[in-house]
Amino acid sequence: MIIGKGGYRSNGTAHEGVLQNTNIVATKKSKEVDPSQIQQFINELIILSQVHHMNIVRLLGWEKHLKMAAETAGIVSYLHSAVSTPTIHRDIKSANILLDALFTAKVSDFGASRLVPLDRAQLSTIV
C-alpha cells in the first residue's frame, strides 16, 4: 500500500510493508537515480545507522546488505588483482550474486568473463 509520495528528491514513493515477525515497516524507493541522489542516500544511511531514538526511524536489515556489498567488492578486487591471471567478470549484477544460508555473497556466471594477460594493462572488448 502506498503511504506517501514526494520527499526523497520529490520523485519517490513510500510503501507500507509487513515483516515476517508482523512488524509494520515503511520502505521508500526513488523513481530516478542521479549521482547527487546516491551521495544523499549514503549520507542518510550513515546518519541513521548512528542515531537511536524512539522518534527517529530505524534502519532494518542494512547490516546484511552492507555485508553482501562489501563481500562482492572483495570478490571483484580478488579477481582483478590477487589471482595469477587477473580476471574481469563483466557481468556483476544482483542476479549473479548468490547467497548461502549465512547470506555470504558468492559470485556466479563467469560466461562473459575475460582473463587479462599480465603483460596487458588494458583489455578492450566490443559490446
121 found inside a domain: no
Interval 42-57: pLDDT, tens: 788 788 888 889 898 8
Domain that holds residue 21: 2-62
pLDDT at position 46 is 82
Are residues 35 and 72 both part of a single domain?
Answer: no
Interval 9-31: pLDDT, tens: 455 677 788 878 887 877 777 66
Cβ neighbours for 115, distance < 8 A, ≥ 6 positions apart:
85, 86, 87
CA distance 104 to 70: 10
114-115 and 2-5: which strand pairing?
unpaired
Interval 76-124: pLDDT, tens: 999 998 998 999 999 999 899 999 888 899 999 999 999 988 776 565 5
**Residue of 91, 100, 109, 119 marked active site:** 91
Is 119 labeled as catalytic in the residue annotation?
A: no
126 found inside a domain: no
CA distance 105 to 65: 10
Determine the distance from the C-alpha atom of residue 119 to the mean position of all C-alpha atoms in its chain, rounded to a whole number.
Answer: 33
Q: Which amino acid is at 107?
A: V
Are residues 52 and 26 both part of a single domain?
Answer: yes
- DSSP labels, 22-37: --EEEEEEES---HHH
127 found inside a domain: no
